[in-house]
């Protein structure tokens, strides 16, 4: 099983086994997942995607 590294809206970086609908670009880059540090549902984005956006 492949893990995906994500960052939540509070800035916490963690890995997750599931990132729902990764290929659905029309929904935007963010997804709602439970952050293990906040223990709340947070909007998360892929860390690799975040780096690509800031480089442009």
Q: For residue range 4-50, list pLDDT tens digits in order.
A: 888 998 999 998 887 766 555 666 667 888 899 988 898 888 887 55
Nearest 5°: CA angle at 53, between 6 and 39? Answer: 25
- Predicted local confidence at residue 12, as pLDDT: 92
Enumerate helices (H) and strands (E) in the chain, giving the number of each.
Answer: 1, 4
In this prediction the pTM is 0.66
- Predicted local confidence at residue 22, as pLDDT: 59
- The total of other beta-carbon atoms located within 10 Å of residue 54's CB is 7
CA-CA distance, 52 to 17, in Å (whole number)?
22
- 52 confidence band (pLDDT: 50, 70, 90): very low
- Predicted local confidence at residue 17, as pLDDT: 82
Quote the tokens at residue 16: 């997750």
CA-CA distance, 48 to 41, in Å (whole number)?
21
């Amino acid at each position: 099983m492949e893990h995906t590294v994500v960052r939540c809206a509070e800035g916490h970086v963690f890995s997750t086994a599931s990132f729902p609908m990764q290929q659905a670009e029309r929904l935007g880059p963010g997804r709602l997942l439970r952050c293990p540090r906040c223990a709340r549902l947070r909007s998360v984005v892929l860390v690799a995607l975040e780096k690509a956006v800031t480089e442009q």
